[in-house]
Amino acid sequence: MAKLSQEDLLAQFEEMTLIELSEFVKAFEEKFDVTAAAAVAVAAPGAPGAPAEAAEEKDEFDVILTGAGDKKIQVIKVVRELTSLGLKEAKDLVDGTPKPVLEKVNKEAADKAAEALKGAGAAVEVK
């Protein structure tokens, strides 16, 4: 099997949706018995430069949790799946509604995330 270069791997990750990337991270964590919590912190610094692009392009959406509903535990589980947040961070996000769950994602990822959250009983808004 040919070894992939770091650039090849990054090119593959670049084509993935956030949900696909989240599923990959979970599989990676299970396979190698590690956690990728630092990856979330590394991805955050790139966000401040994006607002100028978001104003020009209408293909980036925010998924905002506006209410947890009566199935709060299920909503916390879905938030953790979508964001790779820890239990405490996901609970704090759900308790502090309205809060963004995902920011600057494509339409497909935003719709999938909204459906998953609504399926768990949450009130969601996509902007």
Could you report the per-residue pLDDT of 41-93, keeping only the tens digit for each? 444 444 454 455 545 556 788 888 888 888 888 888 888 888 888 888 888 88
Write the pLDDT tens digit of every residue in 13-25: 888 888 888 888 8
Q: Are 115 and 81 in contact (CB under 8 A)?
A: no
* C-alpha dist (Å) from residue 9 to 34, 39, 83: 19, 15, 21
Identify the pLDDT of residue 64.
85
Q: What type of residue sits at position 119? A: G
Identify the pLDDT of residue 36.
61
Identify the pLDDT of residue 44.
47
Is residue 29 predicted with pLDDT exceeding 80?
yes
Is residue 6 predicted with pLDDT exceeding 80?
yes
Is residue 99 predicted with pLDDT exceeding 60?
yes
Is residue 39 predicted with pLDDT exceeding 60?
no
Tell me the helix, strand and coil percentages in the chain, rounded to 5: 60, 15, 25
Identify the pLDDT of residue 20.
83
5-10 mean pLDDT:
86
Identify the pLDDT of residue 75.
87
